[in-house]
Structure 1
Amino acid sequence: QNSTLKIIDLGGNSIGDEGVVALARVLHHNSSLVKIDLARNSIGSNGTVSLSQALHRNSTLQELDLSYNCIGDEGAIALAQSLHQNSTLKIIGLGNNSIGDSGAAALAEVLHHNSSLIKIDLALNSIRSNGAVSLSQAPCRVTIQMMMAKP
């Protein structure tokens, strides 16, 4: 177990669900990582569920970028459930992940209970008016970045 590695940048490597499942096993026991970039890695909901389970136990990770994957509502809901337990994650990038209203609502709900999260990037998803209304009711301490560009 490496106790000095602070940042892992695997962006753009197409590790997929299988790769993120392996990373999640490491994250369960890691006590030094503060930032992981997994953008553009063909990660779906299955990989996100495994990663979410690891976030339940991890107490050091502060920033996670899952942008430009395909986690969908199922992955967003799994992440939201893990954020009920996690008290260290501050920034999460979820842009361009096909997240819709139900995923947005789950994330919005957890923001009322999780005091560590300060920024969520939800740009370029499939969030419509119901999801936007849910997110608009999030606490003011949280910056939610949204750009409704998808038709």
Structure 2
Amino acid sequence: MYRLVLLVLLALPLAGCFAPRAEDTARNWRPMGANGLALGRLVALSPGVTRATWEAFAGIKGQTVVRLAAEYDPVRAAAGCPPPEAGMVRAARSFLIVDLAVTPQKSVDFIAAKAQAYSADGYFEEYDLDIGVIAALAARARPMPCADLALPGYLR
């Protein structure tokens, strides 16, 4: 019996049971290279971020899609932005959504990003972003443009 338990314990790492989850691989990805900070740390340091959620979904060709949903305090995220244009107001809630592909070999690739702005009543608008959000996170700059943090004021 002891040998069977030992054999199972030795086989588990070979079966991938202790392999890092795709969310952990994406969170630990260093987009600026080996000397740069991990993506999870860059998000945590991002101005105005209040929380981040990492989820994994089945992708194509054995890949896993990892979605980062980072919520931002709209006031802090908009610090340094000019006042909203006439007829526009600051969003009550704002999110940065980033989709990443994690391959079976544990490499990470950018898929897409978007900003979401919500009114207090639940109306929202979504704006497509590009890979520049990763560079903005690395620079500890605002990852969402100022215009993406405002909604039409007549919706109030």
Same fold (TM over 0.5): no
TM-score (norm 1): 0.22
Query: Which structure would you say has the larger Rg?
Result: 2
**Larger helix proportion, structure 1 or 2?**
1
TM-score (norm 2): 0.21
